[in-house]
């Protein structure tokens, strides 16, 4: 295991990390994407040019910039460029469209948007871009359909003509670098204000947990708009001087072929990646690869043991949240499979009971967190002081997750406290699903709940209240959801009822609906031959 010190943190910004690595090894491979390779020197130069070009658009340090880009090297360039320019990155899910896309841009006060030609339609489809947005920068050239009244900018031409004499700001570790939107598992999505140092310290600590060195190659298939990919994979790789092997999207059938082609030594397997890979037919080539370590969220021990035995890898489990990033990892040696591990060096974590007191070993309570140094956790929710107070009122960050700690200090995840759903690696707000369902004619009330999925995580069941359940057109309701929602949010199952179970105060009793699950009268979109539409 390597020893990393705070003086190695590039001045507390991801831009500083990249500068240090490019100076030390300019010709080393930084990013591999298919047949293309970008060295550390080339990545550093591109980040500087992009930073200068963005400031030339009239943006000033502290402004927010939306980042609606798929997995490709330009995303990583933009991520480091925004840091270098002192601009706030706003990662946006590439499945977002309509109200979901508009909210991300509007609530973050984004002054510009970076996107790509094949994602241009959802941008052009917005009747009016939020008023603050003045420029849209397009990768792959400017498309035919454009939003009206907005400056359209060609990425390549702008970067090539960038003024490298333009002075760049002196970005501080305490400056807000990212506004990352939560998935809204407890209500409307919230904008998490992340200081620059937070990403750097997280990169350091995952590098410590994984023992990452300059010889490592990190296969990155998770979407870059998630911190698990952008920080736990990419910034982590830059911190350690390793190579990012970037894949455009996950494919269970092609996964190990990609691994072999890239020579990857590590990968990040959050979400349902592990059960999906286990579901593939066994092959005599299952161990024919160079992967040594896999970073994963806690899963049933029998699943992890099966994965390790079949593919010949070691799994490092961990735990985190958008607000605090990853704060626990299981040790490579002396681990306990099924545990989230122990807190990182910069983290103080406890289990609290309902009175806010520390619970004893083995007692289930809420997982709460405090940092041991400044600027390594979120500073609050953007434009939402009440939510900030609710979460940090007693100077602990309340995760909303239930867990316990054993006598040896290993933490275990038990369940979510709220009505959260997780599907295909994405957290889903039941409230946002229900709001879309309520827009359909004839639906008086709705409840979205999690039900079992054979691939792990959840499937979404929508239970709707209507006057005549037999008259409801489920296919039309499915298509309504598909037109409005990101693909991962569209329910698989639907059920109609004249009434919904309620508490004495009139709230829907989701615990009753969860206990009922998928009933005989539930409609299955997959069995009907329907699948949600994807942009990419």
For the record, the structure tokens of 278 come out as: 């286990």
Q: What is the mean pLDDT of residues 440-453?
A: 91
**pLDDT digits 0-9 by tens, 375-392:** 999 999 999 999 999 999
Report the run of H or E that residue 154 belongs to, with start and end.
Answer: strand 151-154
Read off the DSSP letter of residue 6: G
How far is the C-alpha of 345 from the C-alpha of 178, rounded, in Å?
Answer: 23
**pLDDT digits 0-9 by tens, 27-75:** 999 999 999 999 999 999 999 999 999 999 999 999 999 999 999 999 9
Question: What confidence tier does 455 reach under pLDDT thresholds 50, 70, 90?
Answer: confident
- The domain segmentation of the chain, as residue ranges, is 35-196, 421-524
Query: What is the dihedral sign for C-alpha 157, 62, 222, 47?
Result: positive
| 470 pLDDT more than 70 | yes
Distance of CA 514 to the CA centre of its chain: 26
Sole residue written with tokens 């040019």: 49
Reported pTM: 0.85
Percentage of the chain modeled with pLDDT above 90: 80
Q: Which of 337, 375, 463 is nearest to 199 (CA)?
A: 375
Q: What top-level class would CATH report for the domain 421-524? A: alpha beta
How far is the C-alpha of 531 from the C-alpha of 508, rounded, in Å?
Answer: 28
- Calculate helix-pair angle for 14-24, 73-84, nearest 10 degrees: 110
**Residues 259, 246: contact at Cβ < 8 Å?**
no
Question: What confidence tier does 2 reach under pLDDT thresholds 50, 70, 90?
Answer: very low
Give alpha helix (H) positions in 415-466.
430-437
Give alpha helix (H) positions in 345-401.
385-392
Question: What confidence tier does 185 reach under pLDDT thresholds 50, 70, 90?
Answer: very low
Average pLDDT, the chain: 93
Helix (H), strand (E), coil (C) string for 288-339: CCCCCEEEECCCCHHHHHHHHHHHCCEEEEEEEECCCEEEEECCCCCCCCCC
Q: Which of 124, 127, 154 is nearest to 57 (CA)?
A: 154
The angle subtended at Cα 170 by Cα 166 and Cα 172, nearest 5°, is 150
Give alpha helix (H) positions in 367-464.
385-392, 430-437
**Residues 75, 187: contact at Cβ < 8 Å?**
no
How far is the C-alpha of 451 from the C-alpha of 508, rounded, in Å?
Answer: 17
Sole residue written with tokens 């609290």: 352
**Residues 405, 420: contact at Cβ < 8 Å?**
no
Q: Which residue has the higher pLDDT, 230 or 424?
A: 230
Q: What top-level class would CATH report for the domain 35-196? A: alpha beta
Q: Which residues contact 373 (CB under 8 A, 6 or more apart)?
A: 201, 346
Sole residue written with tokens 């490579």: 332
**pLDDT digits 0-9 by tens, 276-334:** 899 899 999 999 999 999 999 887 788 899 999 999 999 999 999 999 999 999 998 89
Q: 416-454 burial, b if ≥16 CB within 10 A, otherwise e?
A: beebbbbbbbbbbbbbbbbebbeebeebebbbbbbbebe
**Residues 442, 470: contact at Cβ < 8 Å?**
no
Q: What is the mean pLDDT of residues 235-262?
A: 97
pLDDT at site 318? 94
How far is the C-alpha of 338 from the C-alpha of 414, rounded, in Å?
Answer: 11
- Calculate helix-pair angle for 40-56, 14-24, nearest 10 degrees: 140
Give alpha helix (H) positions in 161-229.
196-210, 227-229
**Which of 178-182, 245-249, 419-423 has the weakest average pLDDT?**
419-423
Distance of CA 528 to the CA centre of its chain: 31
| 157 pLDDT more than 60 | yes
| 92 pLDDT more than 50 | yes
Helix and strand tally (H, E) in the chain?
16, 26
How far is the C-alpha of 298 from the C-alpha of 269, rounded, in Å?
Answer: 11
User: How far, CA to CA in Å, does 214 sit from each of 196, 237, 349, 410?
Assistant: 23, 8, 31, 30
Question: What confidence tier does 224 reach under pLDDT thresholds 50, 70, 90?
Answer: very high
Same fold, 35-196 and 421-524: no
């Amino acid at each position: 295991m390597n020893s990393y010190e705070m003086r190695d943190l590039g001045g507390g910004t991801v831009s500083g990390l990249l500068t240090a690595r490019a100076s030390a090894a300019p010709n080393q491979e930084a990013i591999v994407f298919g047949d293309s390779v970008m060295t550390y020197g080339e990545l550093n130069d591109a980040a500087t040019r992009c930073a200068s070009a963005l400031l030339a658009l009239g943006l000033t340090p502290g402004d927010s910039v939306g980042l609606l880009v798929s997995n490709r090297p330009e995303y990583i360039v933009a991520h480091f460029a925004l840091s270098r320019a002192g601009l706030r990155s706003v990662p946006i899910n590439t499945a977002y469209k309509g109200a979901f896309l508009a909210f991300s841009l509007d609530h973050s006060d984004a002054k510009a948007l970076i996107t790509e030609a094949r994602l241009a339609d959802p941008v052009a489809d917005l009747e009016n871009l939020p008023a603050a947005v003045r420029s849209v920068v397009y990768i792959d050239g400017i498309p035919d359909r454009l939003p009206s009244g907005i400056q359209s900018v060609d990425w390549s031409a702008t970067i090539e003509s960038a003024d490298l004499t333009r002075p760049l700001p002196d970005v501080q570790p305490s400056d807000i670098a990212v506004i990352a939107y939560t998935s809204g598992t407890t209500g409307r999505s919230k904008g998490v204000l992340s200081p620059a140092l937070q990403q750097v310290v997280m990169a350091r600590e995952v590098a410590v947990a994984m023992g990452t060195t300059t010889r490592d190659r990190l296969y990155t298939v998770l979407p870059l708009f998630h911190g698990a990919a952008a920080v736990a994979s990419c910034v982590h790789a830059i911190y350690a001087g390793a190579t990012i092997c970037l894949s455009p999207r996950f494919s269970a059938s092609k996964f190990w072929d990609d691994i072999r082609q890239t020579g990857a030594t590590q990968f990040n397997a959050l979400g349902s990646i592990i059960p999906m890979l286990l579901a593939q037919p066994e092959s005599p080539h299952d161990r024919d690869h160079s992967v040594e370590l896999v970073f994963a969220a806690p899963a049933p021990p029998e699943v992890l043991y099966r994965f390790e035995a079949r593919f010949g890898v070691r799994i490092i489990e961990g735990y985190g949240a958008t607000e605090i990033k990853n704060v626990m990892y299981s040790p490579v040696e002396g681990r306990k499979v099924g545990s989230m591990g122990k807190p990182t060096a910069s983290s103080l974590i406890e289990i609290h009971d309902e009175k806010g007191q520390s619970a004893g070993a083995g007692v289930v309570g809420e997982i709460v967190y405090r940092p041991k140094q400044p600027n390594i956790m979120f500073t609050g929710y953007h434009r939402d002081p009440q939510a900030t107070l609710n979460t940090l009122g007693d100077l602990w960050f309340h995760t909303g997750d239930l867990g316990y700690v054993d006598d040896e200090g290993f933490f275990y995840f038990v369940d979510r406290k709220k009505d959260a759903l997780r599907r295909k690696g994405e957290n889903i707000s039941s409230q946002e699903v229900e709001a879309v369902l309520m827009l359909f004619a004839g639906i008086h009330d709705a409840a979205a709940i999690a039900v079992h999925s054979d691939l792990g995580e959840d499937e979404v069941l929508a239970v709707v209240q209507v006057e005549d359940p037999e008259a409801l057109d489920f296919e039309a309701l499915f298509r309504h959801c598909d037109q409005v929602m990101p693909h991962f949010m569209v329910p698989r199952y639907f059920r109609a009822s004249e009434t919904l179970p309620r508490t004495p105060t009139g709230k829907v009793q989701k615990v009753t609906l969860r206990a009922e699950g998928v009933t005989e009268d539930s409609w299955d979109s997959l069995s009907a031959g329907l699948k949600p539409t994807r942009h990419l």
